[in-house]
Amino acid sequence: MDKNMILSPWPKRTVRHMSSFNNTPSAVLVPIVEVGGELRFLYEVRSMALHWQPGDISFPGGKIEPSDSNAEAAAIRETMEELSVRREDIHILSPLDYVESVTGVDIYPFAAHLDAYENIRCTAEVDHLFTVPIRWFMDHQPEKADMDLATRPGTHFPVDIYYPGNPMDWRRRKSYFVYVYRYNGYRIWGMTAQITKHCVELIQKM
């Protein structure tokens, strides 16, 4: 092969995202509702019957399906399904920063105002709902909690290419932090807290 060809500027091309993690593209809505004249974020407590993160606090959302035209459409569809709200009651305010999770999910969040808070109802995926005043987040900074990320070879990993003497057990790879908000007995943490914090920061800049 011609060395000069390799070392010359390469043809322009579309850059692909190369990842072996196979993260699931997902979308969530950050619902802002008005309760008693006060603006609040609306949160879900996930049903204990779910296989994925039962009992966790989250925003309405889920996997982006092939039938969804884009991430925003997925966030709206999931919100309608989980909260029994009408499309005309959902008003998108802004996309938020894309979030990559070490737990295998890539999230596209959207801030939105929901009308008719009194008509919102839980479906089977949701144990119950609660709200937190946006002003409360402006007055309270989140805690930071450390998390460890570890890996180990899978059942069918070829032992002969792993270093000699390794017990094929968990190996700590890195530490990272997550945000934690504590409000009236609720613990909002992880990606939900990260998205909340980002949304609050955008509101404060208005």
pLDDT in tens, 167-177: 677 777 777 77
Confidence at residue 129, expressed as pLDDT on a 0 to 100 scale: 93
Please give, one letter per residue, the 3-state secondary structure of 100-130. Answer: ECCCCEEEEEEEEEECCHHHCCCCCCEEEEE
Confidence at residue 14, expressed as pLDDT on a 0 to 100 scale: 76
Comparing CA positions, the residue from 175, 70, 71, 186 lying closest to residue 127 is 186
Q: Identify the residue whose tokens are 């890195």.
A: 174
With pLDDT > 90 as the criterion, what percentage of the chain qualifies?
A: 53
pLDDT above 80: residue 159: no
Question: Residue 32: which pLDDT band, with cuts at 50, 70 and 90?
Answer: very high
pLDDT above 90: residue 11: no
Q: Identify the residue whose tokens are 């946006």.
A: 134
Q: Identify the residue whose tokens are 């070490």.
A: 102
CA 136/CA 181 separation, integer angstroms: 10
CA 148/CA 172 separation, integer angstroms: 7
Confidence at residue 135, expressed as pLDDT on a 0 to 100 scale: 96
CA 33/CA 43 separation, integer angstroms: 11
Confidence at residue 153, expressed as pLDDT on a 0 to 100 scale: 79
Structure tokens of 27? Answer: 């979308």
At 29, give phi and psi (nearest 5°): -110, 135
pTM reported for the whole predicted model: 0.83
- pLDDT tens-digit readout, 79-105: 999 999 999 999 999 999 988 877 778
Q: CATH assignment of 21-204, given 2.60.40.420, 3.40.50.970, 3.40.50.410, 3.90.79.10?
A: 3.90.79.10
Q: Name the more confident of 27 and 152.
A: 27
Confidence at residue 41, expressed as pLDDT on a 0 to 100 scale: 96
Confidence at residue 179, expressed as pLDDT on a 0 to 100 scale: 93
- Count of H-run helices and E-run strands, the chain: 4, 11
Q: For residue 165, is it left (φ>0), alpha (ψ between -120 and 50) or beta?
A: left
Domain boundaries, the chain: 21-204
DSSP conformation class of 79: H
